[in-house]
């Protein structure tokens, strides 16, 4: 789904983000930086397990990507173009 989102896809993703403050805050934390889940947790005040769950949900919808999926610890996440598009609409 990454690339040019349709209007319907955009609104579906906006709804998906708005129903979860954790997803929204996790996405916002990645807006300008690539981070590990523990760093997102520290910046947002959200427990690491909740951040990890949010990252999993966001990754499934191509809003974030893991840059080093092969490692068990120290995974780095970055927002995608689709994620930036959704954040821009939410502001």
Query: pTM surpassing 0.85?
Result: yes
**pLDDT-based confidence at residue 91 (cuts at 50, 70, 90):** confident
Domains of the chain (ranges, CATH numbers): 7-90 (1.10.10.10)
What is the percentage of the chain residues whose pLDDT exceeds 70? 97
> Would you give the DSSP letter of residue 20?
-
User: Nearest 10 degrees: CA dihedral of 7, 54, 47, 88?
Assistant: -20
54-89 per-position pLDDT tens digit = 999 999 999 999 999 999 999 999 999 999 999 999
């Amino acid at each position: 789904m990454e690339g040019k989102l349709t209007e319907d896809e955009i609104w579906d993703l906006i709804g998906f983000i708005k129903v979860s403050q954790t997803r929204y805050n996790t996405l916002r934390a990645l807006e300008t930086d690539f981070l590990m889940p523990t760093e997102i947790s520290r910046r947002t005040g959200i427990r690491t397990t909740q951040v990890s769950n949010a990252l999993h949900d966001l990754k499934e919808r191509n809003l974030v990507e893991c840059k080093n999926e092969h490692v068990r610890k120290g995974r780095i996440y970055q927002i995608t173009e689709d994620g930036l598009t959704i954040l821009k609409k939410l502001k």
